[in-house]
Chain A
Amino acid sequence: MNLGQAKTFDEFMEGIWRQNPVFVMALGMCPTLAVTVSAINALSMGVATTFVLICSCLLVSLLRRVIPKEVRIATYIVIIATFVTVTDYAIQAISLTLYDALGAFIQLIVVNCVILGRAEAHASKVSPLTAVINAAGMGAGFTIGLLALGTVREIFGNGTLFGISLFGANFQPWVIMVLPPGGFFVLGGWLLLFAWWAKRRDKAALPADKAAEGHQHA
């Protein structure tokens, strides 16, 4: 693999792993917790957000020399809102059931901090191609994060995965998982798991006395 390809790959992987919007940066929490009662909702939300993210980042990057610095945030928001309106009508046309399940949260993609954050911190500074690759990575990372929550919550709270029953008729659903507190608990649980894993890895890599270092503040 030559250097150019390696860099492109890095750009893509950044969103999936090192700067995962859900688990590492804790951005875009509202849709993350609100729509992840089932895996299919989570996946649709992830795809919709990724679409808006890629289109907005492309446009912001293309217009980066045109947009005056003073009104850039307002411009970004209008760009994002335009694409969200498109997505909103598209989902309504494709599947009304899905539209009802996601409700106002499709329109609330506008205020997803992941998108504005990417537009401001990344897309406004780089070339369109890099911006799109980075946005695709971020979108994929966001979708993976949503799926991680959606699958866990659907399996425990409903006994199904993508609507397919897993445990048979005798399964007693763990209802709290699909209720609001479940969302907080599952995401908290994932973060604990990652923190534990990172600590173990650090411990293996470092001498024992340096392992207990200060935590990263959120």
Chain B
Amino acid sequence: MHESAAQIFISALLANNFVLAMFLGLCPFLGVSARLDTAFPMGVATTFVMLVASLCAFGLNLLLSSLHLEFLRLISYIVIIASAVQLVEMVLKKRSPTLFRALGIFLPLITTNCAVLGVALFQTAREYDFLQSLAFSLGGGAGFTLALVLMASVRERLQLSDVPGIAQGTAMTLVLAGILSLGFMGFAGIGS
């Protein structure tokens, strides 16, 4: 079975949304989604890291496979991701110190965002070619941003409503995420 790049993109964006269907990248999803003006840049930064990580992982996988060093795959992927995050951090610090402060601890934590490592691991497991990997990482990143922005919009509205005491905080966010995920199940079948 050979999927086209467009199919992979749509599938990663909607039907198999990284956050809401595959449970990748939940920590920033729960942590940074309180406000819209930090959620969107966070999504874009993560997408960029995903893109870099995916392309590097693709090249690296070719190299490691030709040398029969597959067992080093995981370690090399994580080192690449950490370097990419460092790069994003330096650029952001220089271009937009305000945003850099707003994202705070969650910026270096992109390294431990499973969505980023997930992209690299899944594309290896599914044996995507270069174009497919590109579409997969872009779709995954866009899907992550979409989920983050949707969640942030809902949570901003939520501040105006009267939530019962015990449901405040993480519990409410999780129930909301469940409802969003329920909605995204409606996309099942698209892109496959």
- Write the residues of chain A forming the contact surface with B, with a CB cutoff of 8 angstroms: 26-27, 29-30, 33-34, 73-74, 77-78, 81-82, 84-85, 88-89, 103-104, 107-108, 110-113, 116, 176, 179-185, 187-188, 191-192, 195-196, 199, 212, 215-218
Contact = CB atoms under 8 A, between A and B. Distances in A.
B166 A104 contact: no
A61 to B, nearest CB: 20
A34 B118 CA distance: 12
A157 to B, nearest CB: 14
A218 B155 CA distance: 13
**Per DSSP, are chain A's interface residues mostly helix, strand or loop, or mixed?**
helix
B74 A107 contact: yes
**A-B pairs with lowest CB-CB distance, top 9:** A184-B178, A188-B174, A191-B171, A34-B23, A29-B26, A195-B166, A218-B170, A188-B175, A181-B181
Contacts of A103: 125
Contacts of B87: none
Contacts of B179: 181
**Per DSSP, are chain B's interface residues mostly helix, strand or loop, or mixed?**
helix
B189 interface: no
Interface residues of B, number: 44
A215 B168 contact: yes
Contacts of B44: none
A181 B17 CA distance: 12
Nearest to A195: B166
B36 interface: no
